[in-house]
Amino acid sequence: MRTKHYNQQLSAYVDQELNKEDRQVVAEHLMNCDECRREYHDVKLGAGLASHLEPTDAPENVWHEIEAELNGQRTPRLEAFSQRPWFDLRQIGAFATAIVVVGLLSFLVYRGLFTGGSSGTAPVQVHVNSEGQQQSVPASETAQEPGEIATTTAEQPVPADTNTTPAAETEGTFFPVETIAGRPTIGATAGGSKLAVGEYLETDAASRARIEIADIGKVEIAPNSRVKLVGTNVKQHRLSLERGGLHAKIAAPPRLFIVDTPSAAAVDLGCEYTLEVDKTGNSKLTVTSGFVALERGGRESIVPAGASCRTMKGKGLGTPFSSVVSPEFERALRSFDFSGGGSRAVKEMVDRAEYYDIITLWHLLPRVTRNDRPAVYEALAKFVAPPAGVTREGVLSLDNGMLEHWRTSVENAWARF
């Protein structure tokens, strides 16, 4: 079945010219269509550039000249206009050059030095279109997603500073390991099939492996990764991803499966997700179904399907963001989360916020300063109206009940994507 695209409506979408229903349809389509999303980012960039055009007052003398003309006097401007030469010196020079070039070409054609044209005409054609303009065909620009994972430097496993309680290491238990590609090593053994508590599973650039997590799911380990089985018991199964990446697919009650990284703990809330840790210990979580909580130091980010979240070693937990976030919005968010971007970054996000940034906006409410909070509130309320019982004052004063109530509405709106 052919997919209906909305690329002709992107400008109207960016310029807020669509009604609410159409806007919703386009927003939902953008969540799922890479092609339209690429175009959307171009159109949005174009609109952002065009908004730099500025209105300007006419110079004072224009009115004086109009007035003189109204009085029946010939104005300097019209005098100048009527005396405008057909060619100035540069143009005469250019014209002379053209004559010489055309003459030379004609001579060469006559002498048969050019043989390419079957009609016998000179192969040089000068075409000036009706507008005298040169138009270039736009090349689609793809937004570069940051977050490459470098996996070359070995580091010691550093359990995340989290309020989740690590399971006691349980001796004598293990997870079955299946080799998908290459020769993963477990401890000092290449090609092992059991990962015992306390042991490391390592993959090189050509290796991949799959770990069976008790009877609740599987975790696929990407190339160039190092993973430790921290512990496993009936209350909790816990891995530590020191570097590299893993993809987890878990069907279990919330908080039964946890992965530590050097900068946070990913707590499964019944989901499927990808977790990457770079050589500096920074991580990026991308959730494809369900929810994952990233936790560190008593702080928590709930990341739903379709969203990602970064953590930075030594700087803490980032704010979740949509997987289709614009590069500009994400840049401002990273500045806010990790570089002290403060009010400026908040303003940037508020100005650029789209429907799919609602998860970010909700998480920002308690994280921004009191002065910046009203702007974040307004930006979120524009997309998801606060439900009955949730007041502006309550949210601005961080009433926990109201925030949670609104969060349910935000998550429901998010889920409709």
Residue (46 or 157) nearer to other proteins, CB: 46
Task: Please give the Cα distance from 323 to 308 (Å, whole number).
Answer: 6
- Residue 134 sits in the site that holds other proteins (CB under 8 A): yes
Judged by CB, which is closer to other proteins: 328, or 399?
A: 328
The reply on whether position 102 binds other proteins by CB under 8 A is no
Residue with token string 């979740």: 320
Give me the least distance between CB of 359 and other proteins, in Å please: 24
Considering only residues 10 to 39 of the shown chain, the ones binding other proteins according to CB under 8 A are 10-12, 14-15, 17, 39
Given the rule CB under 8 A, which of 54-62, 149-157, 228-236, 310-318 is the region that contacts other proteins?
Answer: 54-62
Residue 145 in contact with other proteins, rule: CB under 8 A: no
Q: Helix or strand or coil: residue 3?
A: coil
- Using CA atoms, how far apart are residues 246 and 76, in angstroms rounded to an integer? 76
Closer residue to other proteins in complex, CB, 297/327: 327
Alpha carbon distance 99, 261 (integer Å): 73
Q: Please count the CA atoms within 13 angstroms of the CA of 33 that sit on its side-chain side.
A: 19
Q: Which of residues 240-259 bind other proteins (CB under 8 A)?
A: none
Q: Return d(Cα 270, Cα 282) in angstroms, integer.
A: 24
Cα(201)–Cα(416) distance, integer angstroms: 39
Q: Is 4 in the site for other proteins (CB under 8 A)?
A: no
Integer Cα distance of 328 and 360 in angstroms: 14
Contact 259, 160 (CB under 8 A): no
Answer yes or no whether residue 124 interacts with other proteins by CB under 8 A. Answer: no
345 binds other proteins (CB under 8 A): no
CB of 323 to other proteins, least distance (A): 20
- 244 contacts 261 by C-beta, under 8 angstroms: no
Measured CA distances, 366 to 299, 360, 374 (Å): 11, 11, 11
Which residue lies nearer to other proteins by CB, 127 or 416?
127
Asked whether position 188 contacts other proteins by CB under 8 A, the answer is no
- Asked if 372 contacts 379 with a C-beta cutoff of 8 angstroms, the reply is no
| Pairing label, strands 174-181, 194-196 | antiparallel
Minimum Å gap between C-beta 332 and other proteins is 12
Distance CA 293, CA 258 (A): 10
String marking each residue 303-342 x if it binds other proteins according to CB under 8 A: ------------------------x---x-----------
Q: What is the CA radius of gyration of the chain?
A: 31
50 touches other proteins by CB under 8 A:
yes
Residue 270's SS3 state is strand
Q: Does 70 bind other proteins (CB under 8 A)?
A: yes
Q: Which residue, among 110, 105, 107, 109, has the nearest Cα to 126 in the 3D structure? A: 105
Among 1, 89, 113, 126, binds other proteins (CB under 8 A): 126
Question: Which position among 91, 153, 163, 189 is part of the footprint of other proteins (CB under 8 A)?
Answer: 91
Tell me: does residue 81 bind other proteins (CB under 8 A): yes
DSSP state of 263: S
Applying the rule CB under 8 A, the residues between 149 and 168 that interact with other proteins are none
Site for other proteins contains 142 (CB under 8 A): no
At residue 343, φ and ψ (nearest 5 deg) are: -60, -35
- At position 278, the amino acid (one-letter code) is D
Q: At what angle do helices 373-383 and 342-352 cross, to 10 degrees?
A: 20
Q: Any contact of residue 103 with other proteins (CB under 8 A)?
A: no
Among 32, 61, 106, 163, binds other proteins (CB under 8 A): 61
Separation of alpha carbons 54 and 24, rounded Å: 31
CB-wise, 81 or 298, nearer to other proteins? 81
Q: 174-181 and 189-190 as β-strands: parallel, antiparallel, unpaired? A: unpaired
Binding of other proteins by 234 (CB under 8 A): no
The reply on whether position 136 binds other proteins by CB under 8 A is yes
- Pick from 133, 152, 156, 369 the residue near other proteins by CB under 8 A: 133
Minimum Å gap between C-beta 147 and other proteins is 17
Q: 342-352 and 327-338 are packed helices; what angle lies between their axes, rounded to 10 degrees?
A: 160
* Choice from 53, 89, 113, 388 touching other proteins (CB under 8 A): 53
Q: How far is the CB of 105 from other proteins (least distance, A)?
A: 13
82 binds other proteins (CB under 8 A): no
| Residues in contact with other proteins by the rule CB under 8 A | 7-12, 14-15, 17, 39, 42-59, 61-63, 65-67, 69-70, 75, 77, 81, 84, 86-87, 90-91, 94-95, 97-98, 126, 128, 131-136, 138-139, 141, 327, 331
